[in-house]
Structures are given as structure tokens and as C-alpha cells.
Amino acid sequence: MPWFGMDIGGTLVKLVYFEPYDILSEESQEAETLSKIQHYLKSNSAYGATGKRDAHLQMDNVEIQGHVGTLHFIRFPTSEMRVFLELAKSKGIATLASTVCATGGGAYKFEEDFKREVNLELHKFDELDSLICGIHYIEANCEEECYYFNNPLNEELCEKKHFDFSNPYPFLVVNIGSGVSILAVYAPGHYKRVTGTSLGGGTFLGLCCLLTGCETFEEAIALAEMGDSTKVDKLVRDIYGGDYPKFNLQGDTVASSFGNMISKDRVGAASKEDLARATLVTITNNIGSIARMCAVNEGIVKVVFVGNFLRVNPISMKLLAYAMDFWSKGTLKALFLEHEGYFGAVGCLMELMKTGC
Ligand SMILES: Nc1ncnc2c1ncn2[C@@H]1O[C@H](COP(=O)(O)OP(=O)(O)O)[C@@H](O)[C@H]1O
Ligand SMILES: CC(C)(COP(=O)(O)O)[C@@H](O)C(=O)NCCC(=O)O
């Protein structure tokens, strides 16, 4: 039985594994090996560094092919892939499975390493097929998966609310990973990749590291939370002295992202926090704008944002929710999923197990 599904992306590896209660009895060799690997992954700083929520992310009482068990979700940097392979070798991961389902660019890039280092065959699946399959599976099996924001930019009134996604088609998926892929999904197994943009989560992190000297995504987000992007961006009111009413552009709309950074005084007045916030807002608004145009072109009103860029990142989620609603005059709905970056990994595991995707 294949236990592991891996999505080896441009920045993060997403690892999902299924721990069936019936087969893995307490004393079995497999249970022991699995628990060693699990303990290592959760406690080793290289693997636990992606935030508190990761350690607790699991789905209990999941049924797969007649077995009931737990799905565990773990992520670690793709740059740690070699360390992971050494761990897999030393903990005997190959005794648990001879085949590991893998997706993402790294399934191709690291295929030879898996074979050579741990004698594992990678059963490769396309990352976008897997993404759709994973969304389908998790939505069907996790009641509280899909949500949206009411009054996203009003701190007092903002509410996170459950969205009933049981009748989802058609919908747009905006997968914000290192880069961004936008897919229109019309029915199970029937989708197309509408477009993509290279200005994604990797761009946010890369620019933030350059501009602020931060070293991690968590640091970049923490800086952004304390910053003010209007110190960096040129607003409509900086140009018009107020609103531009003829075309309904309010004074506080960003006219030019980073547009204030042509003045030495303004550069001197902008803090690391302001620069981080402006980078986050620039990347998020650009993605929101492309997503909105795609939705309009495709005649689709439900837009589902996924990918690890949204991890611990309510600023971007609320901004996307607001932008989709405001610029579409309330016709488009921004939706979010709790397992934001894991769908590719889940999907490739499910595809191999052929559980109705
Ligand atoms: N701990 C983290 N380390 C690095 N990037 C992170 C982390 N958590 C969230 N991110 C964000 O998630 C993006 C990667 O998202 P992901 O969906 O995993 O894409 P990929 O498949 O390309 O790795 C990064 O570019 C960054 O913006
Ligand atoms: C190449 C990718 C599918 C890889 O996926 P990722 O690892 O970023 O999740 C993605 O980065 C992407 O769609 N980039 C945008 C390419 C473009 O259409 O311009």
C-alpha cells in the first residue's frame, strides 16, 4: 500500500501520509518505523520550522480503500530535500513503501536521487491534476474546509464564515505557490489552465529578503503586519490631491506600487515594515487583479485561492476578498480552503489509490 504522497514544489515539499489504524497495530514493525519518522519530522527543527499549525495538522478517521486512519500533513523547505533523503535512508522509509506518489516539479528533478539514495520509485502525477483531485477529496471529506470573509477590511466587523462548497462547479482555482497558476474547473476531471504569472509567493519572499534583510517567510509576514504600505506606494490622492471621481477611483487607491520610492526623503522615511507591507500588497493586488480578469473572461463567479503563500497570511486573504468583491461590484466571491497548500500532495496520493478522482 502506498502511504506517502509528496508535492515537491519550487519552495516547499508538502508530505501527506496515511496511517491506517487496522494495519498498523501498535507492535508491528511498520508502526514502529512510521512513528520514528513521524517523531523525527515533527521534532527536527528543519522540518518543524514552518510554524506551529503544521505540527497539529492531521485528519482523523479518514477512510481510504476500506481502511480507516489518520492523514498527516507536514511541510519542509525543498532546499532540505537532501536531508530528508538521508533521514528516509537512515529510518528505513523504504521498508514502508516501495512506491511513493510524487507530484510538483521536484518529482522529476529528484526522481533519480530517490532511486539511488533510498531505492524508492516515484510514481509521478501531474501537479495540476493532483491539485484539483486533492481539492475535490478534501472538500468532500472535511466539513469545515471552505470559508470566506465578510467585511474583510473592517477589523471590528470582519468575520470568517463557512461556505458550502458541495455544489462547486464551475470555479476558478488560483494556486499561489512560488509562482501562480490559474485554473478553470468545470466538472470533476474537467479543467483547463487559464494562465499563470511569475509574480507569486516566491517573488514576495525574494523581494522582502532583498529589501528588508529578513530570512524567513514568517519574518517577512511579521514585518508586513507592522508596516504601512501607503508610505511606499503612490496613491491616487498623491497624484490628484483627492479622488478621481470620473472613473470611480478613490483617493486611497494605489495608483503606483512603490511609486513613492523615487524620492530620497520618502525612501528615508520608509521602514523595513513598510517595505514588507508594500511588497505583500503589491504581489497580492496583482494576483487579485489577474484572477478577477480570468473569472470575468471565463464567466465564473467562485474564485478559490490556495497555495502556501496564504499560510499565516490573513493580510493577503482579506485583501483578496476585498478586492474581488469591490472591483467586481459584488459579483465575484473569494473563497479559501483550510488545507491551503496541501492539495497537490493529497491529490497524488488519492490518484494512485483511485478513490474516485
Ligand atoms: N515556511 C515557509 N518557507 C518558505 N516559504 C513559505 C513558507 N510558508 C509559506 N511560504 C510561502 O509559500 C510559497 C510556496 O508555496 P507552495 O504552495 O508550497 O509552492 P511551491 O509548490 O512552489 O513550493 C513561498 O513562495 C512563500 O511565499
Ligand atoms: C511552473 C509552476 C507551475 C510551478 O508551480 P509552483 O512550484 O510554483 O507551485 C508555477 O510556478 C507557475 O505556474 N508559474 C507561472 C508561469 C507562467 O505562467 O508565467
Residue nearest to atom 19 of ligand 1 (CA): 177
Task: Tell me phi and psi for residue 355, to 5 degrees.
Answer: -100, 55
Give the tens place of pLDDT for each residue, 224-283. Answer: 999 999 999 999 999 999 999 999 999 999 999 999 999 999 999 999 999 999 999 999
What's the 14 CA to ligand 1 centre distance in angstroms? 10
Classify the complex by whether its ipTM is higher than 0.95, answering yes or no. yes
Contacts of 138 (CB under 8 A, 6+ apart): 145, 337, 339, 342, 343, 346
* Residue 27 annotated among the catalytic residues of the structure: no
Contact by Cβ (8 Å): 310, 180: no
What's the 69 CA to ligand 2 centre distance in angstroms? 33
Contacts of 279 (CB under 8 A, 6+ apart): 204, 207, 208, 211, 220, 224
* Residue 72 or residue 125, greater confidence: 125
Q: Looking at ligand 1, which atom is closest to the CA of residue 105? A: 21
- Give the pLDDT score at 45: 41
pTM value? 0.94
Q: Looking at ligand 2, which atom is closest to the CA of residue 175? A: 9
Ligand number with the minimum distance to the CA of 54: 1
Q: Looking at ligand 2, which atom is closest to the CA of residue 181? A: 13
- Is the pLDDT assigned to residue 34 strictly greater than 80? no
- Is the pLDDT assigned to residue 93 strictly greater than 80? no
What's the 181 CA to ligand 2 centre distance in angstroms? 6
How far apart are alpha carbons 238 and 231 in whole angstroms? Answer: 11
What's the 337 CA to ligand 1 centre distance in angstroms? 16
State mean pLDDT over 218-228.
98
196 pocket-lining for ligand 1 (C-beta < 6 Å): no
% of the chain exceeding 70 in pLDDT? 87
